[in-house]
Amino acid sequence: MISTHDERKHESLEAKLPENTDVIFVGAGPIGLATAIGLKSLDPHLSIVMAERYEEYQRKHNLIMDPTHLEMFMKATGTEHIKILSDLLADLKKNPRIRTNKLEEALKKVAKQKDVEIIQHKVSKQDLEHLSESKEHSLIVGADGTHSAVSENLFPEDNQIKHEFDFVLQLRYDIVNEEKPQPLKSMAFFQQMARDGMIANEYVGKTENKVTPVTMQMMISKEEYKLLEQYTSKKPLKFDHKNIPKLPKRLSEFVGRYLVKTLQQKSVQLSDIKISVNEAPATHAKKLVHKTSTGAPALLVGDAALGLSYFKGLNAGFESLATLFTLTGPSLESGLKDNKEAFNNALLKYQQWFLNSFAPRKVKEVESYSTWRINAAWNLMRTLRFTKLSSRVEHDNDPKYLIADYLNRQATAAAGKKINWDPYPHRPYNPEISLWTLDFIPYEYSVKKTIKIFTDYFTPYKAFSFQFKRDLRQPLADLALMGIGVVKFFGGIIALQPKFIGDGTLSFIRGALSLVTLGWLIKPFTKIIATAVIGPHKIEENDGLQLLVKKGRLLLDSKENDFQILVQHPKNKDSLVLQETKEAKLSVENITRVKHICFDINRKFNNSLKKGQLTAVSEIKEIEQFNIMREGSVKSDFESYFSLFA
């Protein structure tokens, strides 16, 4: 038996409408609400009902909103005196970033103050057919987005024109318990993009109650979009403690490294992270105004009329509403019911302006933005990746194991407990140091790297092709290092920071020594000789990898671990004794630290394989032992993996 609530839910839209409804909206998003506010402000006698599919607004991501367009709308509708709108305008002038649901909440309050009724109802084709045949309504407004049901059912066939430009992946999360969080360091982010040939940006929203929304947006190919198109902002791909979302390999590696750096620096609930994809096109309707069978006009607004990417759609929506109400204002102020002909004529003038002037100009803006801001930068990143101008040209593996480990730890942690996460506990300098690092670099690191300039003459090649090419590119890295040294030196003087003066000096000296000693010209010959005499260096002989194995074994032998268990006495079955065992459980903290070391060994091993370095370790055996180690919790599980590289 269907309940009263369910009966109401399954009623037709017409049955839900109050008597004498003048204007019906399909969709109650921000632009739809603003249109309703404008109509009601200019003609307070109108009875307006909005049918919205969702009880709560689905989108919560950040937008950049131009306050001048909101101000234009307020002047055209005479709503400057409404406090909610004037406060919103003042906030936007201070910070143009706003969450879409916050904007919608503010506009919904104003609409309800003006007695605009909002009902929850998913409008069907049958609903629209009934509405178009009713003589009671003066106007039907389609504010239902790019895939507008109003446009599809009440307008001529194929009413939408689509200009295809770009495709986007968006990763959204909240930073918690920070008053004014900063974005990830832009230079490190730039380097990551250059290494992967990607283009991305990070938008940090407005902090409210110590919660800050962040959106990382990256460009993807059409083929990648097609693989993920089911994950929209309303139905995103989510993280949980059992599964890491599966993305195409190139995207998975970039997103994974971004998350590792984010989780190292920020307090983020990984379960809040959502991934979605969307097209970044420009779409517009061929007609904005169309008479229904009864003569009442249907009007398209917002994305149903003009859908634009790159934060331009919402701004264009308010900008076009200012013109709409400037043209229709006189007929509305005199009363829509008594001035239908004048109102309809004003709508036609608005449509002419919109289609002939406004829409083409806005589409051109998106095209220009895509060409010169997006694809030009993307092509630069592809070029940097191809030429490998970055000093660190090797590609880390997908850090999904690190993220999976963090997820499991977070899922099993006590409620409200903060997970301190350091995925690379063995690194002497954290975060990692690379070219263009503007942070302070410890002096001992610079000294060690300076000594290495000379010792490198006598070491054999590990991977000839890879390292030979890197040696030839060394002058470019040296010049970059000298430039960074100059920046740090003078920055330290200006900021009165002696440590940066010293850091800048050492960086400059290191780059200059490498350049003037002509290592890029001489080293290839000396290293080839060393390789011929000593023999090629195998992966398991690499100093860094052996250091990891040593650190891992020291942790396995740590006194923090419980390597004694209670067993039955060999002679007296009723008593228990302590017995040494390799199968005893490791301490929880050491399990995490040892696993992270194993993850890094796996990363280094695979990177070296990619570079062409030789090894006596079976790749199949390494994968097999690595998978055993991932699920391991006893000493032998980890020792077996370390023994591969002994």
Residue 273: CA count within 13 A, CB half-sphere: 23
508 alpha carbon, distance to own chain's centre: 36
- Residues β-bridged to residue 201: 217
Mean pLDDT confidence for 23-39: 95
Q: Within 10 A of 44 (CB to CB), how many other CB atoms are there?
A: 12
> Among the residues of 535-568, which ranges form H helices?
543-556
Q: What SS3 class is residue 579? A: strand
pTM for the model stands at 0.69
Please give the helix or strand (H or E) that residue 98 lies within, else none.
strand 97-99
Q: What is the mean pLDDT of residues 259-263?
A: 81
Reported as a single tens digit per residue, the pLDDT across 445-486 is: 999 999 999 998 988 888 888 888 888 888 988 998 999 999
Q: Please determine, for residue 315, whether its predicted confidence score (pLDDT) is greater than 90.
A: yes
Between these two residues, 548 and 566, which has the higher pLDDT value? 548
Phi-psi region of 58 (alpha: psi -120 to 50; beta: other; left: phi over 0): alpha
Cβ atoms of residues 37 and 114 within 8 Å: yes
Instruction: Please report which confidence band the pLDDT of residue 393 belongs to, taking 50, 70 and 90 as the band edges.
Output: very low
Q: How many CA atoms lie within 13 A of 468 on its CB side?
A: 12
Closest C-alpha among 143, 474, 139, 536 to residue 304: 143
- Token pair, residue 317, equals 């929506």
pLDDT tens-digit series, residues 332-362? 999 998 999 999 999 999 999 999 999 999 9
Picking from 178, 196, 363, 345, the residue whose alpha carbon sits closest to that of residue 268 is 178
Residues 6 or more apart from 407 whose CB is under 8 A from it?
A: 239, 240, 241, 242, 244, 270, 271
Query: Do 143 and 27 form a contact (C-beta atoms < 8 A)?
Result: yes
Lowest mean pLDDT among 314-318, 343-347, 402-406, 595-599: 402-406
Q: How confident is the model at residue 561 (pLDDT cuts 50, 70, 90)?
A: low
**Whole-number Cα distances in Å, 374 to 166, 176, 200, 371, 405:** 9, 30, 9, 6, 35
Q: Which has the closest alpha carbon to 485: 503, 458, 463, 461? A: 503
Q: Which residue has the higher pLDDT, 296 or 223?
A: 223
Quote the CA–CA distance of 60 and 408 in Å, as a whole number.
27
Q: What is the DSSP letter of 284?
A: E
Measured CA to CA, the distance from residue 551 to residue 598 in angstroms comes to: 10
Q: Tokens 């410890």 correspond to what residue?
A: 442
CA-closest candidate to residue 217, choices 307, 313, 310? 310
pLDDT band at 245 (very low <50, low <70, confident <90, very high): confident
pLDDT-derived band at 565, boundaries 50, 70, 90: very low
Question: Measured between alpha carbons, how far is 107 from 92 in angstroms, rounded to an integer?
Answer: 14
Closest by CA position to 617, among listed 520, 563, 538:
538
Return the DSSP state at 539. Answer: G
Kindly state the average pLDDT of the residues 374-393: 69
Whole-number pLDDT of residue 571:
60
Q: Using DSSP, state whether 615 is helix, strand or coil.
A: coil
Mean pLDDT confidence for 131-139? 81
Average pLDDT over residues 153-180: 88
**Residues 233 and 59: beta-carbon distance below 8 Å:** yes
DSSP code for 428: S
Strands 289-291 and 297-300: antiparallel
**pLDDT of the residue at 567:** 47
Whether the CB-CB separation of 568 and 355 falls below 8 Å is answered with no
Measured in whole angstroms, the distance separating CA 638 from the mean position of its chain's CA atoms is 35
Q: Out of 62-66, 137-141, 165-169, 322-326, which region has the weakest mean confidence (pLDDT)?
A: 62-66
- C-alpha dist (Å) from residue 109 to 153, 191, 195, 256: 30, 45, 48, 40
Contact, 513 vs 479, CB < 8 A?
no
Higher pLDDT, residue 539 or 409: 539
Mean pLDDT of 542-558: 88
DSSP string, 145-171: -TT-HHHHHHS-SS-EEEEEEEEEEEE
Residue 6, pLDDT score: 46
CA distance readout (Å), 404 to 369, 559, 603, 606: 37, 27, 15, 19
Q: What is the DSSP letter of 59?
A: -
